[in-house]
A and B are shown apart, each in its own frame.
Chain A
Amino acid sequence: MAFQVVAMLGLLFALVSLGALIYDILSDGADRLSWDFIRGFPSRRAEQAGIWHALTGTIYVILVTAALAVPVGVAAAVYLEEYGGRSLVARLVEINITNLAAVPSIIYGLLGLGLFVRGMGLGRSVLAGGATLALLVLPVVILSTREALRAVPGSIREGSYALGATKLQTIWHQVLPMAMPGILTGLILALSRAIGETAPLITIGAVAFVTFAPDSLSAPFTVLPIQIYNWVSRPQPAFHANAAAGIIVLLILLLTMNAAAIWLRDRYQKKGAA
């Protein structure tokens, strides 16, 4: 019995930490949160500074990331799950993806710096940032899509073949629609991870002193986490309040996405059980 209490300590510590973190950020930043703050631009005066440029930067970058990582990731997963089988190529790719998923995110920043910013001459642009994050979340997209495809029962495929459908028709008309909720859940979680990333984008040279919202793929940009980092790094407490308010916006964004993912998953599980 006593040991049960001790074993609960680990969980209690996690719960208390999360509580302290949320309390600390709300108490520091809630007062600063306002419509002006969301629609405002950076300023040397903390009271006038806002996050509009960073918020639009985040949205631009994530759209690019999604446009690149989603089709490629889903296609790769379909290949590995439906075509690859136990072939040598499939095994190799599989081991490679597991390893890639554990590479520190800042290494992807160095890859993006060498490949997109310098190598392809994209500069410190929205496109370079989105492409870097796309490579970062690709393993996550592939792994979660494979899970979703694996959950589709083999009998569905066999039924489709029995009716004379080809492999591609079976995948397109039966397997993908059935796996869709699972795939979407994985995609949302992967993109919410990309939204919170800071280090790779700093490494490719996204700076916090961009004072305007990006208007094209080649524009320089900053994102919400980088703006938060910039504000935390300053000595004045007024900027720390801005950072806390920025964190609240970021967390609300992520919670909304996660809630959507959980909702999809639950709906899917209920359907699967029925």
Chain B
Amino acid sequence: MKRFEFLIEKGLLACALLSVATTVGIIVILAAETFAFLSEVPIAEFLFGTEWTPLFAMPRFGILPLVAGTTLVSLIAMIVALPLGLLSAIYLSEYADLRVRRVVKPVLEILAGVPTVVYGYFALLFVTPLLQQVIPGLAGQNALSPGIVMGIMILPLVSSLSEDAMRGVPRGLREGSYALGATRMQTSLRVVVPAAFSGITAAFILAMSRAVGETMIVAIAAGLQPRLTWNPTQQVETMTTYIVQVSQGDTPQGTLEYRTIFAVGMLLFLGTFGLNLVSAWLRERYREEYQ
């Protein structure tokens, strides 16, 4: 009997360790193909080249246009999601009564649960035509519309994580502020938000990481033209879109083209991993502040 319990415990441990194996698997597979890629393409050309044409007869492997596309769309998403997400968090944490929260929280959960391919449809066939009526020069595929829709997608994440951070602020701080004659708005903006600042920043950074890794919205609505531009009305290609684009064709294993998606994936992984670490560190720090 003792022996049986011991075996079960080790079996459960093995399952827990499988998650570590997943991380190792991701790193090993990305690294192996990336090294093979870098043995043919100099790393300086990969990281600092300004032309990305790996599918042409004369291929160029400068990833900057893909990085620029990713950054541009993500920044637009953050411009939408940051203020609106923060405002809705302030409202939910400082103003809303239980009844409002009962209605609003499920709606936010639904928004967060909509598959990204649906948001892609929405961006391409609803938001883009709508914007074209206001911005005449807007291309059919562009950075602006998927950026806005991505902002809508990550708004619930920003809102709920920021709200958690603000709810963690001790009541005493608010009461002290009221006692000094501050209004609710002054208390929210000058006491609660600054007090929850590292938690809110952690939420922003996690949202940024989500935007950078988002795939289907940009694959549908942002286009397939790698372009080094800050103009949001034009087509751009993101790192994730490129991986989708190559995966749809039948690319034989071992070719340089096959390896490019792993090299791009490696950069994407490192970028989002870095953002996640910073976010986790900030959350940890915030937790310490009030314990």
Contact = CB atoms under 8 A, between A and B. Distances in A.
Interface of A: 3-4, 6-11, 13-15, 17-18, 20-21, 24-25, 28, 71-73, 75-76, 78-80, 83-84, 89-90, 92-93, 96-100, 102-111, 113-115, 118-119, 135, 138-139, 142, 166-168, 192-193, 195-199, 202-205, 207, 225, 228-229, 232-233, 240, 243-244, 247, 250-251, 254, 258, 262
Contacts of A104: 209-210, 212-215, 240, 268-269, 272
Contacts of A78: 12
Given A102-B272, A107-B265, 17 more contacts: A7-B94, A7-B188, A18-B107, A75-B15, A76-B18, A89-B17, A103-B272, A104-B209, A105-B215, A106-B240, A119-B29, A193-B113, A202-B244, A202-B248, A225-B115, A232-B125, A258-B110
Contacts of A8: 87-88, 91
A99 B5 contact: no
A99 B273 contact: yes
17 contacts: A9-B84, A14-B84, A14-B156, A21-B122, A24-B125, A78-B12, A90-B16, A93-B16, A98-B280, A104-B269, A111-B25, A166-B1, A166-B5, A199-B240, A199-B244, A228-B121, A229-B120
A233 to B, nearest CB: 7
Interface string B67-95: 00000000000000001111111111011
Contacts of B26: 103, 107-108, 110-111
| The 5 A-B residue pairs with the shortest CB-CB distance in the complex, in nearest-first order | A104-B213, A196-B115, A10-B88, A10-B87, A114-B29
Contact of B116 (A76, A196, A207): A196
B237 interface: no
Q: Which of B23, B115, B261 has the most CB of A within 10 A?
A: B115
Interface string B173-193: 000000000001100100000
B73 to A, nearest CB: 14
Nearest to A111: B26
B95 A4 contact: yes
A115 B29 contact: yes
For chain B, the bracket of interface size reads 35 or more
Interface string B90-115: 11101100000000101111110111
A151 B115 CA distance: 30
B19 A3 contact: no
A79 B120 contact: no
Contacts of A232: 117, 120-121, 124-125, 220
B216 to A, nearest CB: 5
B122 A24 contact: yes
B43 to A, nearest CB: 20
Q: Which of A6, A199, A250 has the most CB of B within 10 A?
A: A199
A84 B216 contact: no
A134 B37 CA distance: 28
Q: Which of A9, A114, A225 has the most CB of B within 10 A?
A: A114
B116 to A, nearest CB: 7
Nearest to B140: A235
A188 B112 CA distance: 15
B15 A79 contact: yes
Given A110-B30, A168-B5, A229-B220, A96 B23 contact: yes
Nearest to A230: B248
Contact of A228 (B20, B32, B113, B117): B117
B33 A114 contact: yes
Q: Which of B1, B86, B126 has the most CB of A within 10 A?
A: B126
Contacts of A21: 114, 118-119, 122, 126
Contacts of B13: 79, 83, 89
A269 B114 CA distance: 25
A24 B210 CA distance: 25
Given A10-B85, A21-B126, A79-B9, A102 B206 contact: yes
A76 B15 CA distance: 5
Nearest to A24: B126
Contact of A107 (B108, B109, B268): B268
Interface in B246-291: 247-248, 253, 261-262, 265, 268-269, 272-273, 276-277, 279-280
Given A14-B111, A106-B265, A196 B117 contact: yes
